[in-house]
Structure 1
Amino acid sequence: MGNASTTERQVFMVQRVYESTSRIGSAFAGSRAHPEFSEENGMQLLEGVSNYNNLRFRLTYNLIGHYKKLGNDCSAKQDAKAAKDMATKARELCNILAEL
Protein backbone atom coordinates (compact mmCIF):
# COMPACT_ATOMS: atom_id res chain seq x y z
CA MET A 1 0.00 0.00 0.00
CA GLY A 2 2.90 2.35 0.69
CA ASN A 3 4.16 1.84 -2.85
CA ALA A 4 0.74 2.66 -4.31
CA SER A 5 0.50 5.89 -2.34
CA THR A 6 4.00 6.87 -3.49
CA THR A 7 3.00 6.26 -7.11
CA GLU A 8 -0.24 8.18 -6.64
CA ARG A 9 1.69 11.07 -5.09
CA GLN A 10 4.16 11.08 -7.97
CA VAL A 11 1.42 11.04 -10.60
CA PHE A 12 -0.46 13.82 -8.80
CA MET A 13 2.74 15.88 -8.49
CA VAL A 14 3.62 15.50 -12.17
CA GLN A 15 0.06 16.41 -13.17
CA ARG A 16 -0.04 19.42 -10.82
CA VAL A 17 3.35 20.68 -11.95
CA TYR A 18 2.51 20.19 -15.63
CA GLU A 19 -0.86 21.97 -15.34
CA SER A 20 0.44 24.96 -13.39
CA THR A 21 3.53 25.31 -15.54
CA SER A 22 1.52 25.05 -18.73
CA ARG A 23 -0.57 28.04 -17.65
CA ILE A 24 2.54 30.09 -16.83
CA GLY A 25 4.41 28.82 -19.86
CA SER A 26 1.59 29.77 -22.21
CA ALA A 27 1.78 33.35 -21.03
CA PHE A 28 5.55 33.58 -21.50
CA ALA A 29 6.34 31.16 -24.30
CA GLY A 30 3.75 32.28 -26.81
CA SER A 31 1.26 29.48 -26.10
CA ARG A 32 3.66 26.79 -27.29
CA ALA A 33 2.57 23.40 -26.04
CA HIS A 34 5.14 20.88 -24.88
CA PRO A 35 5.97 18.78 -27.98
CA GLU A 36 6.08 15.58 -25.93
CA PHE A 37 2.31 15.82 -25.47
CA SER A 38 1.37 16.56 -29.07
CA GLU A 39 -0.74 14.00 -30.88
CA GLU A 40 1.90 13.63 -33.60
CA ASN A 41 4.55 12.62 -31.09
CA GLY A 42 2.30 10.30 -29.11
CA MET A 43 3.25 7.17 -30.99
CA GLN A 44 6.94 8.12 -31.15
CA LEU A 45 6.93 8.53 -27.39
CA LEU A 46 5.71 4.97 -26.97
CA GLU A 47 8.35 3.48 -29.28
CA GLY A 48 11.01 1.68 -27.30
CA VAL A 49 9.06 1.89 -24.03
CA SER A 50 8.78 -1.58 -22.59
CA ASN A 51 6.81 -0.80 -19.43
CA TYR A 52 4.99 1.85 -17.43
CA ASN A 53 8.07 2.80 -15.38
CA ASN A 54 10.08 3.51 -18.53
CA LEU A 55 7.28 5.68 -19.88
CA ARG A 56 6.96 7.51 -16.58
CA PHE A 57 10.72 8.06 -16.47
CA ARG A 58 10.80 9.38 -20.05
CA LEU A 59 7.86 11.76 -19.51
CA THR A 60 9.28 13.08 -16.25
CA TYR A 61 12.74 13.54 -17.76
CA ASN A 62 11.30 15.40 -20.76
CA LEU A 63 9.14 17.60 -18.54
CA ILE A 64 12.23 18.62 -16.56
CA GLY A 65 13.87 19.79 -19.79
CA HIS A 66 10.69 21.59 -20.81
CA TYR A 67 10.43 23.44 -17.49
CA LYS A 68 14.10 24.37 -17.69
CA LYS A 69 13.45 25.92 -21.10
CA LEU A 70 10.37 27.75 -19.82
CA GLY A 71 12.45 29.02 -16.90
CA ASN A 72 15.07 30.33 -19.30
CA ASP A 73 12.34 31.99 -21.40
CA CYS A 74 10.90 33.63 -18.28
CA SER A 75 14.35 34.74 -17.19
CA ALA A 76 15.00 36.26 -20.62
CA LYS A 77 11.74 38.18 -20.26
CA GLN A 78 13.00 39.35 -16.86
CA ASP A 79 10.26 37.67 -14.86
CA ALA A 80 12.28 36.41 -11.92
CA LYS A 81 9.28 35.03 -10.00
CA ALA A 82 8.07 32.87 -12.90
CA ALA A 83 11.65 31.73 -13.62
CA LYS A 84 12.06 30.73 -9.97
CA ASP A 85 8.72 28.87 -10.09
CA MET A 86 9.92 26.93 -13.16
CA ALA A 87 13.18 26.02 -11.40
CA THR A 88 11.26 24.89 -8.31
CA LYS A 89 8.94 22.71 -10.37
CA ALA A 90 11.88 21.21 -12.28
CA ARG A 91 13.56 20.43 -8.94
CA GLU A 92 10.36 18.74 -7.68
CA LEU A 93 10.35 16.60 -10.82
CA CYS A 94 14.04 15.75 -10.32
CA ASN A 95 13.17 14.50 -6.84
CA ILE A 96 10.38 12.35 -8.28
CA LEU A 97 12.72 11.06 -10.98
CA ALA A 98 15.25 10.07 -8.33
CA GLU A 99 12.55 7.94 -6.64
CA LEU A 100 11.67 6.03 -9.83
Structure 2
Amino acid sequence: MAIQIALFRRAMPDYDVTHEDLIAAGDEVAVRNTVSGTHQGGFMGHQPTGRRIEMRTMDIHQVRDGTIVTTWHLEDFAGLMAQLTAVPEAPTPEAWA
Protein backbone atom coordinates (compact mmCIF):
# COMPACT_ATOMS: atom_id res chain seq x y z
CA MET A 1 0.00 0.00 0.00
CA ALA A 2 2.93 2.39 0.65
CA ILE A 3 3.99 2.14 -3.00
CA GLN A 4 0.47 2.96 -4.11
CA ILE A 5 0.31 6.02 -1.86
CA ALA A 6 3.65 7.20 -3.28
CA LEU A 7 2.22 6.89 -6.82
CA PHE A 8 -0.85 8.92 -5.83
CA ARG A 9 1.25 11.61 -4.15
CA ARG A 10 3.47 11.97 -7.22
CA ALA A 11 0.46 12.29 -9.55
CA MET A 12 -1.69 14.29 -7.14
CA PRO A 13 0.50 16.44 -4.88
CA ASP A 14 -2.58 17.68 -2.98
CA TYR A 15 -3.60 14.06 -2.25
CA ASP A 16 -5.84 13.96 0.80
CA VAL A 17 -7.71 11.26 2.72
CA THR A 18 -10.84 12.06 4.70
CA HIS A 19 -11.99 9.40 7.16
CA GLU A 20 -15.79 9.39 6.80
CA ASP A 21 -16.63 6.62 9.29
CA LEU A 22 -14.83 4.49 11.83
CA ILE A 23 -16.64 1.48 13.32
CA ALA A 24 -15.15 -0.94 15.83
CA ALA A 25 -16.54 -4.36 16.72
CA GLY A 26 -14.63 -7.05 18.57
CA ASP A 27 -11.09 -7.19 17.21
CA GLU A 28 -11.94 -5.40 13.94
CA VAL A 29 -12.03 -1.72 12.97
CA ALA A 30 -13.66 -0.58 9.73
CA VAL A 31 -12.75 2.77 8.16
CA ARG A 32 -14.58 4.35 5.21
CA ASN A 33 -12.51 6.99 3.39
CA THR A 34 -12.72 9.51 0.59
CA VAL A 35 -9.44 10.06 -1.29
CA SER A 36 -9.19 13.28 -3.30
CA GLY A 37 -6.64 15.24 -5.25
CA THR A 38 -5.89 17.10 -8.46
CA HIS A 39 -4.36 15.05 -11.28
CA GLN A 40 -1.14 17.05 -11.88
CA GLY A 41 1.35 14.29 -12.74
CA GLY A 42 1.46 11.12 -14.81
CA PHE A 43 -0.47 8.21 -13.30
CA MET A 44 -0.49 4.67 -14.65
CA GLY A 45 0.01 5.83 -18.22
CA HIS A 46 -2.38 8.78 -17.99
CA GLN A 47 -0.93 12.20 -18.62
CA PRO A 48 -1.99 14.99 -16.22
CA THR A 49 -5.54 16.19 -16.82
CA GLY A 50 -5.76 18.90 -14.14
CA ARG A 51 -9.03 17.27 -13.05
CA ARG A 52 -10.07 17.03 -9.42
CA ILE A 53 -10.70 13.37 -8.52
CA GLU A 54 -12.44 11.54 -5.70
CA MET A 55 -12.24 7.86 -4.89
CA ARG A 56 -13.98 5.89 -2.15
CA THR A 57 -12.02 3.32 -0.14
CA MET A 58 -12.73 0.97 2.76
CA ASP A 59 -10.29 -0.67 5.15
CA ILE A 60 -11.03 -3.33 7.72
CA HIS A 61 -8.22 -3.83 10.22
CA GLN A 62 -7.93 -6.77 12.57
CA VAL A 63 -6.26 -5.61 15.79
CA ARG A 64 -4.50 -7.81 18.33
CA ASP A 65 -2.82 -6.41 21.46
CA GLY A 66 -3.05 -2.86 20.08
CA THR A 67 -1.36 -3.78 16.78
CA ILE A 68 -2.93 -4.13 13.33
CA VAL A 69 -2.25 -7.74 12.31
CA THR A 70 -4.36 -7.97 9.14
CA THR A 71 -5.85 -5.41 6.77
CA TRP A 72 -8.43 -5.85 4.02
CA HIS A 73 -8.48 -2.90 1.61
CA LEU A 74 -11.09 -2.09 -1.03
CA GLU A 75 -11.13 0.87 -3.41
CA ASP A 76 -13.12 2.09 -6.39
CA PHE A 77 -10.12 2.01 -8.71
CA ALA A 78 -12.32 1.58 -11.81
CA GLY A 79 -14.16 4.77 -10.84
CA LEU A 80 -10.85 6.60 -10.46
CA MET A 81 -9.64 5.48 -13.88
CA ALA A 82 -12.96 6.54 -15.42
CA GLN A 83 -12.45 10.03 -13.95
CA LEU A 84 -8.98 10.24 -15.52
CA THR A 85 -10.13 9.08 -18.95
CA ALA A 86 -13.55 10.74 -19.10
CA VAL A 87 -14.07 13.18 -21.92
CA PRO A 88 -15.74 16.47 -21.04
CA GLU A 89 -19.52 16.37 -21.37
CA ALA A 90 -20.92 17.74 -24.62
CA PRO A 91 -22.94 20.91 -24.20
CA THR A 92 -26.70 20.45 -24.04
CA PRO A 93 -28.92 21.92 -26.80
CA GLU A 94 -30.01 24.60 -24.30
CA ALA A 95 -26.39 25.80 -24.10
CA TRP A 96 -26.31 26.34 -27.87
CA ALA A 97 -29.18 28.83 -27.82
- Provide TM-score, normalisation by structure 1: 0.31
Q: Which has the higher helix share?
A: 1
Q: Which has the higher strand share?
A: 2
Higher Cα Rg, which structure: 2
Higher relative CO (Cα under 8 Å, sequence separation at least 6) belongs to 1
- Provide TM-score, normalisation by structure 2: 0.32
